[in-house]
Structure 1
Amino acid sequence: MILRQNDGFTMIEMLFSLLILMLISLFVVQLFSIIQTQVEAVNKLHPKEWEVFTMQMHQEIRSSKSQVVRGSGLYLMSGDQLSSIEQYEDKVRRRVDGKGHEVILQNISKFQVKKDGSVIVLVVTDKAGTTFSRSFHPYFKDGNEADE
C-alpha cells in the first residue's frame, strides 16, 4: 500500500489557523483600546478625584480658625498648625508647617485661590483645558467669629 503524501493544508488545519488569527486580532484591538484610554486620561482630571478634593478642602477650610490667600496658595491655621495648599509642578499639594508633600490633586495646569469677603473660591484647570471651580464658606472668619 502506498501512503499518500499531503502537499497542502487540510480543511481542519485551515480553520484552526483562522481561529488563531482571529483570537490574536481580537486581543490586539482590545490592547489598542486600553492604550488610547490611558493616553486620554493622562491629561484629564477625573471627576471623582475633583469630588474627593473638594470634600477634603471643605473639611479643612471649615475646621480652620484663619484663612489667608497669598499668591496662588491657601494658608489655613488650625490650632497650632499651618497648612498650605499650593500648586507644585502639575500637582496641588498640602504641607503642614512647611513640611511634607501630600499630593491632593494631579494633572493640573493652573491652580488659583480667590477670596471674596469670607468666601474662598478655588479654580483649577487641568492639562486638557477643563476648568473646575468651587466656593467654600469657612465656619470661622478671620476675626474668629462663627459664621451663621
Structure 2
Amino acid sequence: MKLKQICALKQNDGFTYVELLLSLFILVMILFITGPTLKIFSHIELKEKSFDIDVFIEDIFETEFEKEDFIVETNRLSFKTKNGLITYRLSNDRIVKSIDDKGFIPLMYNVSEFTIKEKSTYISLSIKEGDNYYTINIKK
C-alpha cells in the first residue's frame, strides 16, 4: 500500500512553464488595468454636505408619518409615536434626535441655526448649515 502512495506522489510534477506563464500573464493584466481605474476614481469628488440634509429629511418624514401628536418649541420639535417621544433639537452645532429624552443620534453637523415655526397647516423648519440655508415644511 505504501508503495502505491509513493508512486502517486512521484507522478505529481507540479506546475509546468506554460501554467506559470499563463498565471503571470493574468496577474500582469490585472495590475495593468488597476492603475488607470484607480486614477479615474481618484478624480471623483463627492459633495458630502448634501448627505446630512438628506439623512435628516428622510428621518424626520419617516417619524412624521408615524406620529400621533407633536409638540413645537423654539429650537425643539417632538413627535409622540407608539415608540415614544421622538425629539429633534439643536445641540452643539448639531441637530440630534433622541427618544424619550434618552440617547443622542446626530443627524446633521455644522448647523448654526435651527428654528421651528408653527403655521396653520404646516410646521416650518429653517436650518442654516455652513453657508447653506434649508427650509422644510411638514404637514400637520
* Counterpart position of 2:11: none
Residue deviations 1:7-49 (CA, integer Å, cap 9, x gap): xxxxxxxxxxxxxxxxxxxxxxxxxxxxxx9xxx8xxx71232
CA RMSD in angstroms, aligned pairs only: 2.5
**Contact kept in structure 2, 1:66 and 1:78, CA below 8 Å:** yes
Residue deviations 1:47-67 (CA, integer Å, cap 9, x gap): 232122112111111211111
Higher Rg? 2
**Contact kept in structure 1, 2:113 and 2:127, CA below 8 Å:** yes
Q: Which has the higher contact order (CA 8 A, sep 6+)?
A: 1
Cα shift at 1:118 = 3.5
* Counterpart position of 1:4: none
State the AA in 1 paired with 2:133. T
State the AA in 2 paired with 1:82. L
One of 96, 114, 121 as aligned partner of 2:99: 96
Cα shift at 1:111 = 0.7
Number of aligned residue pairs: 99
Partners of 2:79 and 2:61 in 1: how far apart?
A: 12
- Which blocks of at least 5 consecutive residues in structure 2 are unaligned? 1-44
State the AA in 1 paired with 2:138. F
Residue deviations 1:78-115 (CA, integer Å, cap 9, x gap): 02611110000110001111110000111111111111
* Counterpart position of 1:60: 63
Q: After TM superposition, where is structure 1 displaced by more than 3 Å over at least 4 residues in a row?
A: none
- Seq. identity, %: 16
| Pairing of 1:43-122 with structure 2 (within 5 A) | 46-79=49-82, 81-122=84-125
State the TM-score, normalized to the length of structure 2: 0.62
State the TM-score, normalized to the length of structure 1: 0.59
State the AA in 1 paired with 2:74. G
State the AA in 1 paired with 2:68. K
1:124 aligns to 2:127 (yes or no): yes
- Which blocks of at least 5 consecutive residues in structure 1 are unaligned? 1-36, 139-148
